[in-house]
Structure 1
Amino acid sequence: MGQLPGLIPLIRAIAHVIEMLYQKLQYFQEGITITENVNKKLTGVITGHFLIDLYTPILPIILPLLIDTMGLSYFLAGLIVTAFNVVSSVTQPFVGLYSDKTGWRASVPLCVLIGSTGICLTVFTKSYLVLLMMVMGAAIGHALFHPSAMDLVYRLSSPVKRGMYTSIFTTSGSISYSLGPFIAGVLIEFAGLPSIIWMVIPGIIGAAWIYRNDIRYLNKEVFEKPVRTVKSQLAEKKKFWWIPAGLVVVICSLRAWAYMGLITYLPTLLTLEHREFDTVTTSFIVTIMLFFGVAGQIAGGYFSDRYGRKLMLVLGLLCAVPLFALIFLADGWLMYFGIMMYSFFACFCYVTSVTMTQELLPGNVAFASGLILGLCMGIGGVGAAIIGWAADVMGSLSDAMFLLIIPTMLCPILAVFVRYPAEN
């Protein structure tokens, strides 16, 4: 019994070690759970981006049919795309700014549902005004989705993998954006314009799956808005490069004007003016063009990490100029080469410009994303209506589209003057 008091400290020490091991094991298990939740959440956001961007390029494919069946002018046809892009662009920066300040985020599955149904239902209306309302409703779904989703990707991915997840996120949308025209073209060719409604099925099923995924893998500790972290970042980085960021936005807007103008009117140009392409062939050409754009995004992101963002921005925009001219000055395979390679280099600097704007505006990731993904695309949509008006006045869609070489030439010139802090 005399040895018992000496055993008490030993028992306490062993109990303490067991308790520590238990805590470590519990922490490890919680870490696995948190990592699983993050990965599942990222998967849901990336899937949502794939689905919601599947529907945007449907509009240019159905424009020739709307022009024919509804008797629309080029201006009114272009105004449909403009309405979508303007509503989306005006809304996105404000959504991003509100998200940065309050931590509020739009529901990913709800945005996917609104975006898919709004576009697909447009084929059932004979009223131009109702059609515009449906398109603008779908645009609101897109506007709510992109800043919130981009903010989630930025915060949930670790710094060493942030670029990779950002690239996966943007590329997922670009791939679906490329597939959309071909799927729509095949449906229209074999089942008519109303068959577009069948494309709503992936949106509905996907929204339901993402909603179930969000509920199942929700973890408040993981997804809580790190307001203090944002404030500390602002305290450390008080200098906002507003002028360079604004110049990048201007460049991206000019690039979007030319790129969106080509995407919007290329099906109409090939179908109505050349009159040698059917809907399937035209949609296939647009799809291949957009896939070249996806390849350009991946290549641009890789080379910008290796050789510098500003250099790749200037190089990509510079190479796009002669290729754009080739589309309208050449025929046959040379014209196709111009279309594909222009898309490659026009998208070469896309991911780079998003990252540059985020870094130039520290602590405002969602706002910066809203500027590039929203405002710039909206300006591109306005440019599409302007080109449609010019085509009505000039009597030639091809001549009006060739005017887009002006903003294309301005882009590399302005890019030279971007002051990027990482290179100073």
Structure 2
Amino acid sequence: MEKAIPKKAITSPDENKTVYRVLFIIAACHLLNDSIQAVIPAMFPILERSMGLTFTQLGLITFTLNMVSSVIQPVVGTFTDKKAVPYALPIGLTSSMVGILGLALAPNFWLILVSVIFIGLGSAVFHPEGSRVVYLAAGNKRGLAQSIFQVGGNSGQALAPVITALILVPLGQKGALWFTLIAGLAVIFLTYIARWYKGQMEFIAAKKKRTVVAKPNKAVSKAIKHAILILVFIVFARSWYQAAISNFYAFYAIETYQVTIANSQVYLFVFLAMGAVGTFVGGPLADRFGRRNIILFSLIAASPLAILLPFVGSFMAMVLLAIIGLILMTSFSVTVVYAQELIPGKIGTMSGLIVGLGFGMGAIGAVALGYFIDLFGLTTTMIAASLLPLLGFLTFLLPTDRKVREWYY
């Protein structure tokens, strides 16, 4: 933790103004980026049948994607906290474009993994740098700004079942070729964003030259470390539950309700689409009611519904998935903002850590859950996963928003 004590006030005309133009463009790019990633789990039922892949192999594909993203994200964030690289954004999406091309043409499991690595690299660059752009454009509405950004990503993820039903089922694996066009569009948008980002970083660099940095308070630094550790467990609970629904609930619906692959995607779409709504709503609610309160609400309120989900019929399951997605994802953008406010001088690092952690936990969860399904069966594993949101009670151990403000002001 560091406090910056200005020698002389330096202000920008737009420093406290929310730049909605930039926010909506970067959110659109987030949608395009995450819709590319959504192709991977959307292809699971097709790859499982065409290549005879096991649930463990499908979990390994998700593990590869998410681990590449999660491990590199905080590294990218830490590096760009020290030295801004605005044009890393379009370069990252170019990597994703190469990956999606390879994914569409890969003839075997191993080449699929290589293609997924390229997509993961693009995502690893995009998320911390995208979050920094959002922070710069947020003004005094950080919760709302982060929600606009994250709802773009969640909307992209929600496209996975639509992609499966409308593109991949009729066209097969090669249908993913259409997403090279999406990646190219994102590169164009991000080139524009990179120019704006470069100007903002030049202003910040000039401002830093006029500041004196105070030594961190050891007691506060220790409290921050504890808070970050608790956030890790909260993100773990949410990410593993998301992994259970996003990667394997389609198989559960097919087995339990005897629906087709295309119809099973409706359950995922409902969960992910309502999750996007929850992500958008969560930021403004956190601006009004507090970051910690929304984090607590998102998991605790979703817990009884998640526990009930494996025991209801097909229609009620769709209703519960909608409500769970809405409630659970209200904390998605809020955990990022909360982490950024814990250490405001490390925006890229904290964005990369929390978002990357979500990917990483989801990756580990996908492999573990796939293994448990192969070992114990689909129903048993889904019932066990329904208990994960109960870890949200750990939120009571986080410092309040007021306490965090007292550390800095």
TM-score range, shorter chain: 0.7 to 0.9
* 2:235 equivalent in structure 1: 252
d(CA) in 1 for partners of 2:399 and 2:341? 12
Contact map agreement 1:253 1:376 (CA 8 A) in 2: yes
Question: What CA deviation, in whole Å up to 9, does each residue of 1:276-323 have, x standing for no partner?
Answer: 322332223312211110121222222222222222221221111111
Q: Map 1:4-15; keep pairs closer than 5 Å.
A: none
How many residues end up aligned between the 2 structures? 387
1:332 Cα deviation from its structure 2 partner: 2.2
Alignment of 1:281-320 (within 5 A): 281-320=263-302
- 2:303 aligns with 321
Q: Is 2:32 aligned against 1:51? A: yes
Q: 1:112 to 1:259 in 2, by over 3 A?
A: same
The alpha-carbon deviation at position 420 of structure 1 amounts to 3.0
Whole-angstrom distance in 1 between the partners of 2:228 and 2:46: 40
How is 1:172-187 mapped onto 2 (pairs within 5 angstroms)?
A: 172-187=152-167
Q: Name whichever of 219-228 and 397-406 sits farther off.
A: 219-228
Q: Residue type matched to 1:382 in 2?
A: I
User: Are 2:155 and 1:199 equivalent residues in the alignment?
Assistant: no
TM-score normalized by the length of structure 2: 0.86
1:135-191, Cα deviation, whole Å (9 max, x unpaired): 011101000111111112212442x24433222111112222212431332112333
Q: Which structure: larger Rg?
A: 1
Aligned to 1:64: 45
Q: Is the 8 A contact 1:361 1:368 kept in 2?
A: yes
The gaps in structure 1 that reach 5 residues or longer are 1-29
Residue 292 of structure 2 contacts residue 401 of structure 2 at CA under 8 Å; is this kept in 1? no
Determine if contact 1:106/1:148 at 8 Å carries over to the other structure.
no
Match among 168, 177, 183 for residue 188 of structure 1? 168
CA deviation map 1:379-398 (0-9, x unaligned): 1211111111111112x212
* Secondary structure in structure 2 of the residue aligned to 1:50: helix
Task: Determine whether 1:262 maps to 2:245.
Answer: yes
The residue aligned with 2:323 is 341
Q: 1:385 aligns with which of 367, 374, 377?
A: 367
- Amino acid in structure 1 at the alignment position of 2:178: W
**Retained in 1: the 8 A contact 2:144–2:287?**
no
Give the conservation status (yes or no) of the 8 Å contact 1:258–1:408.
Answer: yes
8 A Cα contact 1:328 1:398, kept in partner? yes
Is the 8 Å Cα contact of residues 306 and 387 (structure 2) preserved in structure 1? no
Q: Partner residue of 1:235?
A: 214
Contact map agreement 1:167 1:351 (CA 8 A) in 2: yes
Cα distance, 1:319–1:195 mapped onto 2, change above 3 Å = same
Q: 1:113/1:40 Cα in 2 relative to 1: closer, same or farther (>3 Å)? A: farther
> Conserved in 2, the CA contact under 8 Å of 1:103 and 1:227?
no
Seen in structure 2, the aligned counterparts of structure 1 residues 324 and 250 have a Cα distance that, compared at 3 Å, is same
Q: Residues 79, 139 of structure 1: CA spacing in aligned structure 2 closer, same or farther, 3 A cutoff? A: same
What's the % identity of the aligned pairs?
24
Once residues 237 and 157 of structure 1 are traced to their aligned partners in structure 2, the CA distance between those partners, rounded to angstroms, is 26
Task: Describe how 1:361-400 pairs up with structure 2 within 5 A.
Answer: 361-394=343-376, 396-400=377-381
The residue identity in structure 1 corresponding to 2:247 is T
1:274 to partner: Cα distance:
3.6
1:285 to 1:228, Cα distance in 2 relative to 1, 3 A: same
Q: Find 1:222's aligned residue among 196, 200, 215.
A: 200
Give the deviation of 1:371 after TM superposition: 1.2
Once the 2 structures are TM-superposed, how far is the Cα of residue 423 of structure 1 from its aligned partner? 4.2
RMSD: 2.8
Q: Do the aligned residues in 1 keep the contact of 2:29 with 2:152 (CA within 8 Å)?
A: no
Match of 2:6 in 1: none
Residue in structure 1 matching 2:114, options 124, 133, 146: 133
Which residue of the partner structure matches residue 94 of structure 2?
113
| 2:313 matched residue in structure 1 | 331
CA displacement at 1:403 relative to structure 2: 1.6
Contact 2:291 2:338 in 1 (8 A): yes
Q: Specify every segment of 5 or more residues in structure 2 that has no aligned partner in the other structure, as ranges.
A: 1-11, 405-409
1:421–1:209 distance in 2 versus 1, CA, 3 Å: closer
Post-superposition Cα deviations, 1:24-44, rounded to whole Å, max 9, x if no partner, equal xxxxxx979x999x7665554
Once residues 42 and 298 of structure 1 are traced to their aligned partners in structure 2, the CA distance between those partners, rounded to angstroms, is 13
Once residues 67 and 377 of structure 1 are traced to their aligned partners in structure 2, the CA distance between those partners, rounded to angstroms, is 22
Q: CA deviation at 1:221?
A: 4.3
Describe the superposition over 1:196-218 as per-residue Cα deviations: whole angstroms up to 9, x where unpaired. Answer: 2112212213323443x358x55
Q: Is the 8 A contact 1:316 1:345 kept in 2?
A: yes
Contact 2:270 2:321 in 1 (8 A): no
Q: Aligned in 2, Cα 1:329/1:43: closer, same or farther, shift over 3 Å?
A: closer
Q: Return closer, same or farther for 1:334/1:92 CA change in 2, 3 Å cut-off.
A: same
